[in-house]
Chain A
Amino acid sequence: MPPTIIQDINQHNFHEVLRPTPFHPRVDHNCLTKNWMDWNGYLTARTYDTLAAEYFAIRSSCSVMDLTPMGKYRINGPDANKFLNRLVTRDISMLRPQRVSYVVMCNDEGKVLDDATIFHLSEGDYRLCCQHHQLDWLMISSLGMDVSIEEETHDVAALAVQGPTSASALKLAGIDEIEQLKPYDILHAQLHGFEVMVSRTGYTGDLGYELWTSPDNALNMWDAIFEVKQKGFYDIRTIGLSALEMVRIEAGFILPGDDFNTAETAIRADRVRSPYEVGLGWVVNLDKPSFTGKRALLDEKKKPIKRRLLRLEVSGNKAPQDSFLYAGKGGKRIGTIMTQIWSPILKANLAMADVEFAGGSQPNDIWAEIYYQKELEWRVSWAKGKVWNKPFWTHPRRSASPPGSY
């Protein structure tokens, strides 16, 4: 039976280059900087007012981010589980309903197309959330399977509510059972009379939740959350993608497309990366009978690893933006800084670095060559890098159940 493909062809207003999300009236009202950017074709705030304030909202109180542009696909039908399990490298055959799993998708050559989260909404009914648009790959992967794939990026409005006080704030907003949620749990709740799905998931490494609802209820959901702030219970701040970038690097999460070229977008043969090369070996299950890319990954596993995306702390106070990396100060060039931030909480320059592993082993003396400006004059300096095998920053409250009541 051919797969059922239901594509959203909502009317798009072509006078708007970027599409406003269902939260746009509130986003626009709160966004003082008007520092807009494009995220998957949506008009998205890079910052709202002050980056530092947004960052600290995530780390010390409660933050809200518009998550709508995330690619979302609804997957169900008799072969839904079989389809997903073939699509991703992790074994999700035992993923229970109301649970979420972090996964990665590879192409035939075992190179990463995207990372994603699979939400098992209810028995046999799944939502796949991706960083990039993946409908074509999903369609290709559905050949010969009885599965329905629905693009629902534009049909689901979502907010990430993250930070130490997020559980408390959401409880006051009306999600009574919020405390029951363990990490990666899903809850179907009622909020002021409309349906909201809440998952204990996020991209901040902190305690946090993601709330999903229909676009019609988007503003009501936003208002229900911010009412808690208006009543003076908790401070809640909108955050943009710049603040998110800071916390996701602190938490050690990768960003396909920024930290490495995704296989679909790479043009040069050496730009694609396997899950092992981006530190996602832990989501690859080679014991699973079959999945796309398994043969290639089995082959790759036999050979020494060529390179890896490393978490690198770079000493000093100069931002190692786009820096080249060397084996020893002034040594052989072995890599590049892909993304980097200044971490206010750790007081350090943190980076994701693409580093060659000569002979399959990690270089032990990595130096960054940093170019920086002083009053429009370029200077160069060297800074030593330190590799972190664990995330730069973690906190027990991220996984504490029930969540701490702050």
Chain B
Amino acid sequence: MTKPSENSVIIIGAGHNGLVCAIYLSIAGYKVRVLEAQDVAGGGAVTSEFAPGFKISGLAHLFHGLDPEILKDIGMQSTNFELGPEIKTIALATNGNHLLIGKDSVNGAGLSEEDKQTYKEFKQEYFGFAKVLKPLLMNKPPRLKNMDKADKFTFAKLGWGLRFGLGVDAMREFLRVGGINIYDVLNEKIENSHLKGAISVDAVMGHHMGPRTPTTVLTYLTRLNGEAQGNLSTPKNGMGRVTELLVNCAEAKGVEIQCGATVKKILIDEGRAIGVELDSGEQYKAPLIVSNADAKSTFLKMIDVCELDAMFAQRINTTRTHGSVAKFHFALDGLPEFAGLEAADLGNRMLIAPDMRYVEHAFNHAKYKEFSTEPVIEIIFPSVHDDSLAPPGRHVMSVLATFAPYDLKNGWSEQARQEFTSVVLKSIEKYASGITSKIIASELITPIDIENKFKISGGHWHHGEMTIDQSFMMRPIHGAAQYNTPIEGLFLCGATAHPGGGITGIPGRNAAKRISSLARAG
């Protein structure tokens, strides 16, 4: 057992938020030790070899770059990531009339000039809305009761941004759409159903939501915040690269990172977190414990439930954390051919979502604990930009397929896995005939696998649904939404906390700032 020093911190989980939090705390003068259950740091931001010679980003596969403010604070350059070229979205069409969708422009045969113009205006308007939320994202979510000065300031900035940043008309529009669904909004604005289908994917991918689900405008704005952060791209060597840089940065600042160290429980004495115990029985003591694990894992697995008030535990237990996306990794003997696309186009992000009804129907299955028979699919070929990922002449394909619910009716048996794999391949074959014959090796990661491998309850990417009732001052639940928890000395710093999932580093940063400011306040 180690003797804790006054300002020592233990961070549970070396995912990117844990690492960002570690770096910030280290800069603030804390002595930080990060304990990671897996053999490598990174959590969901890892590069793994799934077949001999074939490497791929293990969970998150696209990157908007870390938040610029964070990069500045921790002394990193975005060029360090050696990002590939900007990745645009290609909405696939069986007839070859694909759409090429960029940040603020869209092109494609069969698209009216009006829709092209509307798309541009729509993105501008919605980037404006996303920007209004930014002060909320970059601060601890304000409490509604017993606000401190910082909380009032956050509210003031939010209010100012709404009223004067947007102006009266835009503010009125923001208030109108903020809680409604993307289906209605897109139908109001855009004619082309193919384009609407593609945009709606950004609002529902990763969530248990269809385009008609209320608050899908909000999830879309979250996505836009990512887009505003930087171009969509892939780092050299995959997402593991992000982790590697963060690890180097952390270690240079004196952070100790220990992999293969699974925290079994958080030690609590008189209602105060005092350390952790590993699977091995080894104990580490520290006056500050920061969990980068999701709220359910933190409170219901690592803590004796008796240490929590009953309703608090119940509310954590009833947060919605069932993941609904499966990830496929394919090793390919050469690039496949997509009808109507050049080989160079395959460096983009391909979407199978012909229209919003398709997406909504795909979601219908998830409601009844079935996987979609016609899933929404996102395909990228990271090896197009990065030859380090596959042997020469060969390629890797990373596929997100939704909806693949965590709580599949009869469980994710081997048979179910095979059925879903063939459903997904059948869908891709419609656009890339013969792709199946190029497959050398494959790997399927269902939400169950995500749960087991990455230790995320429910296998939910975002550590819990990012619905409005699980966002802001209610993320993960009120009473634990300002990074500190009812257990004194225990903090949350992961995607389970505000502002939630995505490779942003913001929860980690906000948590570190909260810890430092509470320490200053004594």
A residues lining the B interface (CB < 8 Å): 82, 85-87, 107-108, 137, 140-141, 143-145, 289-296, 298
Contacts and interface: CB of A to CB of B under 8 A. Distances in A.
A293 B309 contact: yes
Contacts of B317: 143
Given A289-B270, A290-B271, A295-B486, A144 B300 contact: yes
A86 B306 contact: yes
The interface centre, meaning the residue of B271, B310, B314 with most chain A CB atoms within 10 A of its CB, is: B310
A140 B270 contact: no
B333 interface: no
Contact of A140 (B300, B306, B314, B486): B314
Contacts of A292: 309-311
A294 B486 CA distance: 11
Interface in B313-365: 313-314, 317
A108 B480 CA distance: 13
A265 to B, nearest CB: 15
B252 interface: no
B440 interface: no
Interface in B283-314: 300, 305-307, 309-314
Interface string B255-294: 0000000000000001100000000000000000000000
Given A143-B313, A144-B313, A290 B486 contact: no
Contacts of B300: 143-144
A34 B486 CA distance: 52
A295 B309 contact: yes
A143 B309 contact: no
16 contacts: A86-B306, A86-B310, A107-B310, A107-B311, A108-B309, A108-B310, A141-B310, A143-B310, A143-B317, A144-B305, A144-B313, A145-B305, A289-B270, A289-B306, A290-B306, A295-B309
A305 B152 CA distance: 30
Contacts of A296: 309
Q: List 9 A-B pairs, minimum CB-CB distance, nearest first.
A: A108-B309, A144-B305, A141-B310, A292-B310, A140-B314, A86-B306, A108-B311, A292-B309, A290-B306
A298 B270 CA distance: 11
A330 to B, nearest CB: 37
Interface residues of B, number: 14
Contact of B271 (A86, A107, A295): A295
A140 B309 contact: no
Contacts of A141: 310
A291 B270 CA distance: 11
Contacts of B309: 107-108, 292-296
The interface centre, meaning the residue of B271, B300, B306 with most chain A CB atoms within 10 A of its CB, is: B306
A294 B271 contact: yes
B271 A137 contact: no
Contacts of A298: 271
**Binding site of B, secondary structure by majority: helix, strand, loop or mixed?**
helix
A141 B271 CA distance: 18
A140 B315 CA distance: 9
A141 B306 CA distance: 9
Nearest to A87: B310
Contacts of A108: 309-312
A143 B305 contact: yes
A85 B310 CA distance: 12
Interface of B: 270-271, 300, 305-307, 309-314, 317, 486
Contacts of A137: 310
B150 to A, nearest CB: 22
A287 to B, nearest CB: 10
The interface centre, meaning the residue of B307, B309, B486 with most chain A CB atoms within 10 A of its CB, is: B309
A182 to B, nearest CB: 31
B168 to A, nearest CB: 35
A140 B311 contact: yes
Contacts of A294: 271, 309
Contacts of B486: 295
A145 B270 CA distance: 21
Nearest to A291: B306
Contacts of A144: 300, 305, 313
A125 to B, nearest CB: 20
Contacts of B271: 290, 294-295, 298
A144 B296 CA distance: 12
Contacts of A107: 309-311
A143 B315 CA distance: 11
A108 B305 CA distance: 13
Nearest to B316: A143
A140 B309 CA distance: 10
The interface centre, meaning the residue of A145, A290, A291, A294 with most chain B CB atoms within 10 A of its CB, is: A290
Contacts of B305: 86, 143-145
B420 to A, nearest CB: 28
Contacts of A145: 305
Nearest to A140: B314
A144 B301 CA distance: 9
A86 B312 CA distance: 13
Contacts of A291: 306
Nearest to B268: A290
Contacts of B306: 82, 85-86, 289-291
A362 B317 CA distance: 42
B314 A143 contact: yes
Nearest to B479: A108
Nearest to A105: B310
Nearest to A142: B310
Contacts of B312: 108
A119 B270 CA distance: 28
A158 to B, nearest CB: 27
Contacts of B307: 290
Given A143-B305, A295-B309, 16 more contacts: A85-B306, A86-B310, A87-B310, A107-B310, A108-B312, A140-B310, A140-B311, A143-B317, A145-B305, A289-B306, A290-B271, A291-B306, A292-B309, A293-B309, A294-B309, A298-B271
Contacts of A290: 271, 306-307
Nearest to A110: B309
B283 to A, nearest CB: 18
A197 B271 CA distance: 39
Nearest to A294: B271
A291 B300 CA distance: 16
Contacts of A143: 300, 305, 310, 313-314, 317
A177 B309 CA distance: 42
A264 to B, nearest CB: 11
A298 B305 CA distance: 19
A108 B486 CA distance: 11
A93 to B, nearest CB: 11
